[in-house]
Structure formats: structure tokens, C-alpha cells
Structure 1
Amino acid sequence: MENKIYHFVGIKGTGMSALALIMKDFGYEVQGSDIDKYTFTQRELEKVGIKILPFDADNIKPGMTVVAGNAFKDDNVEIKSALDQKVEVIKYPELLAQVMSDYTSIGVAGSHGKTSTTGLLAHTLSGIAKTSYLIGDGTGKGDKDAKFFVFEADEYRRHFLAYSPDYLVITNIDYDHPDYYSGIDDVIDAFESEARKVKKGIFIWGEDKHAGKISADVPIYSYGLDDSDYIQAKNIKRTVKGSSFDVYIDNENIGNFEVPLFGEHNILNSLAVIGIGHMEKLDHDPINKELQTFGGVKRRFSEKNVADMVIIDDYAHHPQEIKATIDAARQKYPDREVVAIFQPHTYTRTLALMDDFAEALDLADEVFLTDIFGSIREKQGDITSKDLGDKINKGGRVLTLEDMSPLLDFHNAVMIFMGAGDVQKYELAYEQILSTLNPNQQ
């Protein structure tokens, strides 16, 4: 069995690359294929010697197991080749479901905050017990002797219905993926369906009006800042170093916890982690200790300093995520101007949530927009970034790669580059200009 070869079709995808790393850790031979364009996920694959090939029917050999990424259908050249040769083909969610079945599995679902919460949970549990994990930033670790398996459960196209975890965290429920979901009731229905597959318990942000509608056949524990929450944070102190708070579970004070994280959403994420540890009867002190050493996940409030500027890279691509990121920046840098550079992601999302995007971006001191990053699954439509910019009270000027000069008007400020597409190319162009102008200030 150890000699079995797993070939991942679309191995550079965040979930696929993480699962490939897990299978490699388990002792299997792993390879995969994808587009030639460099992605941030491939570095970890290359570091452990996982081969990445261009798509080619000849990559498929008898005896392999072909793992199909969610974006790939039977007409993909490699999947078609596998089917023609009667080579085993398994979908990514199906393999993940198989892999986690031998462990205490904890899924993290939600419209926003999945990756950050999964990362925080994986980090904390790993410091206390052997833990395997799959994080949606492309990070994966497999340990056959693990007690826990922590994974990100994606609601897109109801993919998470392949999983029946022991525990499920639902960070929130919001309307997103308008190319698939017909409305908020459809989204709630998907989460309800997944909740009914959970075996031991569910943790839900108590102040989320949509998540509050979920019912299931296992206990549901609410976490949040309200007195009605089963797991509650009180006496919150937010400083430029992070956040501290007392935690009450079922009205009993279990201690004061600290996290080197910013924004109210990260307090909520921490409560979910603390709640799971409590239900698994883990000591509170080591949980607190591990929380204090969390360094974050890729593309979530990732910071660097160039010249006199703080530059933040964040995956935020929904209004609620934009609000959370700006809130975190305000906490850490209360005396600096906050500038948002936002790349709208998909025409359908931009159109469906236009007013909400404008409201969220108005929380920044200044706003710049790039052109919309479209999806291969949609038509371009008639909407543009200028339409969004016109709705922002402060105005949202449209940036181009050819002219990044408007950003040079700011000094000693916080520049937040946000988006799920390729907004990093704008960030890189800005950094290069700054470095050229300030060669000795880095």
C-alpha cells in the first residue's frame, strides 16, 4: 500500500496542495499536475520533493490513484485518460473524508474566517497532542499516529457535505458565491445539511443571526461576547500587542487568555478553539500557552515594512472580511492612516454585494481599487470597478499597474492590499517603487 502513487490533478490549489503534503507525510508517493504559472502553494510541495507536471494525458499510468480537484471535470485531459484506462479516480473531498476517518476530526466551516480559525486550531492542538491538519492556505501535515485531524470545510458547491466530522465550527453564515447559491436561505440550507452530519458537537458564533437558525442532532455550543453564549469572552482588552480576555464556559470562569492577534474576529476564533479544547478535556493552561505563540496563516494580515510604510497582504474578498481586516489594522496601528487597495473578486460577487463593499471600504481613510478579477466560471458583464468606486463616500480611485504613483502621496501609513485574485502583483509593483525611492530605509 505504501508504494501506491497518488496523482493530484490541480495540485497547486490550496486544499489540493495541503492534502498532497498530508499523503506524502503518510508515506505515499505523491505527484501532481497544474498550470505553469507560479503560485504561493508550490513552494512547500517543491521543498518535500513532490513533482509538479504540466497537464498531459501521458502523466496517467496504470495502478495510480488520480485525485481530481474540485475545479476539474471528466473532460480534463488527465481525468479522461484515467477513465479510459480504468485507473481509479477519486474527488478531493472524498479522499479527505477517507483520510480523516481514523481520527477525532474537527471541521471548520463558515463564510469567513475558516482559514484563520483552522490555522489557530491546528497550531494550538499540535502543541498539546499529535495532530494532522489541512489548512486552506495550502498548509498540510499528516501524522498517522495523530489524535486529532483538523481541516477546513469549504461550503462552495456544498463540497463539505462529503464530510462527517466529530466536531464542526461554524464561524458565521453569510451570502457569498452568488454564482452558485441562489440566496441566503440556500446557504443556510447547505450549512444545516452539514450540521446534521456531525457526530459529537457544533460550535457556532452566537451573535450570527443566520447561524442561529441551524439545528442538529448533536449539542450546539454558542461562543461570543454575549451573556447568553455558552462560551463567552469578558473583560476584553485590545492593545497594540494583541488581545486578552477572561473566558467563561457555562457561566464558569476558566481563566484569562491572551492572543497576539488583532481584531474582534480573532477573539471569536480563539473562543472556538478554547471551546473545543474544553470539550476534549484538555488542560486550559497549555491551550493558553499555545494560543500566545500563533504566528498566523498565509495571506491573512501578512505584514512587512518597506521604507516608512506598513504593507499588509490579506485575502479579504467579501465585505465582512474587509471590515475585519481594517478593524485589526486600526487596533495594531491606532495612530496611522489606513489605506485600502482592493481588488474586487468576480463580477457576480461585486454586483451582488456592491453596497456592502462600499460601506466596508469606507472604514478606511482612503480607498483605491484595481480592475475586477473575473472568474473563468462567469461572463464579464457590464460592471466595472469604477461603478464600485462611485458608491464609496470617500471615493475609490481605480489604480493601474502602469501608474501606481497615487500611492506615493502617503507616508508613515498602513497600506492594506486585499483580494482573492492577483492583487499581490500591485503590491509588488508598489514595493519596488518604494524601494527605488528609499534604498536605505528598508
Structure 2
Amino acid sequence: MKQVSGSECSCGRPSDPSSDLCGNNGRIITYGISSSNEWHAESVRPNLQGGSDYILVIVTVLMLMGDQGKLKESIDCFKLHLSKFRGISRCFEMFGTIYGCHIYDHYAHHPTEVRAVLQAARQRFPEKTLLVVFQPHTCSGLVALKDDFATAFSDADKVVITEVDAARERNSWNITGRDLAASIVSPSTEYISSLGDVVDKLTVVISRDPLHETVILTLGAGDVTTVGPKLLQQLQNMLRN
């Protein structure tokens, strides 16, 4: 839930806040976290799912001006679909759970993004071991942001750094993922160049203590997103055998 500076008409198009009606004569409805909005959130607090719970408040005049039955129907429909929403691709996307291992992926390649998603993961899984696999994106980006990355993983318990996803760049800086791994003082960090080797290493680690509650979180902008499904498949094959 966020504060908005304007308003939106019931047809879904942005409109001029100074106007009372949008182009199709629909009513303008304001929303946000301020009580000045007709729809606003109160008592916002973090929940155990990594999101937020809040009370949705609807200004009484809306109910008086509209059809109360349709309004309740709309709210009930919204609640039903929201309860079934499982998120979007590469946004704390869950690939699966096997043994005590919970495998997630998130698109994050900037220190601020990494720090934010790890804070959210720690909030959601306060008692579980948080193991992060990070694939740096572009050599120029790593050169510019290496010092910021060095402190961005503090909420993790263990970190694996892979080789840089160079994209279309030529590595004129002679920098590698090993350099980033060496700069991270805490938590415990390991450099594993190949994504395939990362999958094999994690398979061994998880299989040694299958009931240990571990969250595997892959981060990056490149093909690091393939690690989670491959890890899940290898662990499933071990379970069947």
C-alpha cells in the first residue's frame, strides 16, 4: 500500500485531481495510506509471510453515494483473489520445498535491492538458515558497486558468489566474482564459479542434514534463476532413489 499524489477514476485511468469526473463520467476515487484518501490503510504491520497486514478503511460517503451491495461484492471478490495470489515471477518466487529446504528466487542485482530482499527474508524466516546464491551482473557494475555489495549480505547466514554474468560486456577491468567474495567479511562467503557446481555443492550440503530448516535464495539478473529448479530436481531424484 502506498501514498499516491493524485487520483484514479473508476475506469482505471489517471485523471486530473482538480477534476470531479473522468472522461466517461465515472467518479474519481483516491487511495493510499493517508486518512484523507477515500480508500486508505490503517494499522499497517508486517506479517509472517513477508508482506503487510492492514485494515482497509472506506469513507462512509462512498457507501452512501453508491450501491452498498455492489461495493460489498467488489470487496469480497478482491479478498478472494488476493488470498489466491502467489506473487509474480522472480519476485521472491518459491520453486518448492523438499526435506527442510525451501527454495526461492528473486531478481536483484543492485546492493540496495539485495539488502532489502534479505531483510524481508530474515523477517519472514527468523529461525531458518538463510543461504544466498548471488550472481553479479556486469563487470562494470561490480567494479562500481563492489564496496556496497560487501556489506549488503549481512542478514544472510551463508553466501555463495558465482562468476559474473557479463552480459554483452568485455571484462576490461579483470574483475571476477572471486574479488567480490573476498571483500565480504561477514557472513561466511564462498566463491563457486560455475552454476552447475553450485547446484552440486548445495545438493551435498542439503542431503547431509535434510531436516535442517534452510532457505536457499538465488539473487541476480542472469541465469542464476536456473539454480533453484535444478537443485529441487536433484534433491527429488535423491529422495526417489
The verdict on a shared fold, with TM-score over 0.5 as the criterion, is: yes
Partner of 1:433: 234
Residue 197 of structure 2 aligns to a residue whose secondary structure is coil
Partner of 1:301: 92
Partner of 1:136: none
Matched, 1:409 2:205: yes
Relative to structure 1, the CA distance from residue 370 to residue 293 in structure 2 (aligned partners, 3 Å threshold; closer, same or farther) is same
Q: 2: distance between equivalents of 1:353 and 1:286?
A: 46
Gaps of 5+ in 2: 3-9, 18-29, 60-69, 207-211
Gaps of 5+ in 1: 1-116, 118-128, 130-146, 149-165, 168-198, 202-220, 248-252, 256-281
Aligned match for 1:310, one of 102, 112, 126: 102
Q: 1: distance between equivalents of 2:32 and 2:36?
A: 5
The residue identity in structure 2 corresponding to 1:403 is D
Alpha carbons 1:372, 1:384 under 8 Å: kept = yes
Relative to structure 1, the CA distance from residue 297 to residue 436 in structure 2 (aligned partners, 3 Å threshold; closer, same or farther) is same
Aligned-pair CA distance for 1:371: 0.5
Alpha carbons 1:307, 1:435 under 8 Å: kept = no
Residue 354 of structure 1 aligns to a residue whose secondary structure is helix
Relative to structure 1, the CA distance from residue 297 to residue 401 in structure 2 (aligned partners, 3 Å threshold; closer, same or farther) is closer
Aligned match for 2:180, one of 388, 405, 414: 388
For normalisation by structure 2, the TM-score amounts to 0.66
Residue 285 of structure 1 aligns to a residue whose secondary structure is helix
Aligned-pair CA distance for 1:245: 1.7
Matched, 1:398 2:191: yes
Alpha carbons 2:104, 2:228 under 8 Å: kept = no
Aligned match for 1:245, one of 26, 43, 54: 54
Relative to structure 1, the CA distance from residue 293 to residue 429 in structure 2 (aligned partners, 3 Å threshold; closer, same or farther) is closer
Relative to structure 1, the CA distance from residue 291 to residue 354 in structure 2 (aligned partners, 3 Å threshold; closer, same or farther) is same
Q: After superposition, where does 1:194-273 map in structure 2 within 5 Å?
A: 200=16, 234-241=42-49, 242-246=51-55, 253-254=57-58
Aligned-pair CA distance for 1:232: 7.1
Aligned-pair CA distance for 1:317: 1.6
Q: 2: distance between equivalents of 1:360 and 1:288?
A: 36
Alpha carbons 2:147, 2:183 under 8 Å: kept = yes
Q: 2: distance between equivalents of 1:367 and 1:295?
A: 26
Residue 362 of structure 1 aligns to a residue whose secondary structure is coil
Relative to structure 1, the CA distance from residue 368 to residue 246 in structure 2 (aligned partners, 3 Å threshold; closer, same or farther) is same
Q: 1: distance between equivalents of 2:103 and 2:231?
A: 10
Partner of 1:10: none
The residue identity in structure 1 corresponding to 2:75 is D
Aligned-pair CA distance for 1:326: 2.0
Q: 1: distance between equivalents of 2:226 and 2:216?
A: 14
Partner of 1:324: 116
For normalisation by structure 1, the TM-score amounts to 0.38
CA RMSD of aligned residues (A): 3.5
1:261-317: CA deviations, max 9, x gaps? xxxxxxxxxxxxxxxxxxxxx958358524443221112111111332100021122
Residue 89 of structure 2 aligns to a residue whose secondary structure is coil
Partner of 2:63: none
1:369-395: CA deviations, max 9, x gaps? 11000121x221321111111221224
The residue identity in structure 2 corresponding to 1:236 is V
Alpha carbons 1:388, 1:396 under 8 Å: kept = no
Q: 1: distance between equivalents of 2:16 and 2:88?
A: 27
Partner of 1:422: 223
Relative to structure 1, the CA distance from residue 232 to residue 313 in structure 2 (aligned partners, 3 Å threshold; closer, same or farther) is same
Partner of 2:22: none
Residue 128 of structure 2 aligns to a residue whose secondary structure is coil
Aligned match for 2:75, one of 264, 281, 285: 285
Relative to structure 1, the CA distance from residue 233 to residue 355 in structure 2 (aligned partners, 3 Å threshold; closer, same or farther) is farther
Aligned-pair CA distance for 1:223: 5.8
Alpha carbons 1:323, 1:360 under 8 Å: kept = yes
Alpha carbons 1:401, 1:429 under 8 Å: kept = no
Q: 1: distance between equivalents of 2:46 and 2:148?
A: 26
Relative to structure 1, the CA distance from residue 254 to residue 368 in structure 2 (aligned partners, 3 Å threshold; closer, same or farther) is same
1:146-187: CA deviations, max 9, x gaps? x54xxxxxxxxxxxxxxxxx54xxxxxxxxxxxxxxxxxxxx
Aligned-pair CA distance for 1:332: 3.0
Q: 2: distance between equivalents of 1:229 and 1:390?
A: 51
Q: After superposition, where does 1:85-124 map in structure 2 within 5 Å?
A: none
Q: 1: distance between equivalents of 2:84 and 2:197?
A: 40
Residue identity over aligned pairs, in percent, reads 31
Residue 118 of structure 2 aligns to a residue whose secondary structure is helix
Query: Number of residues paired by the alignment?
Result: 196
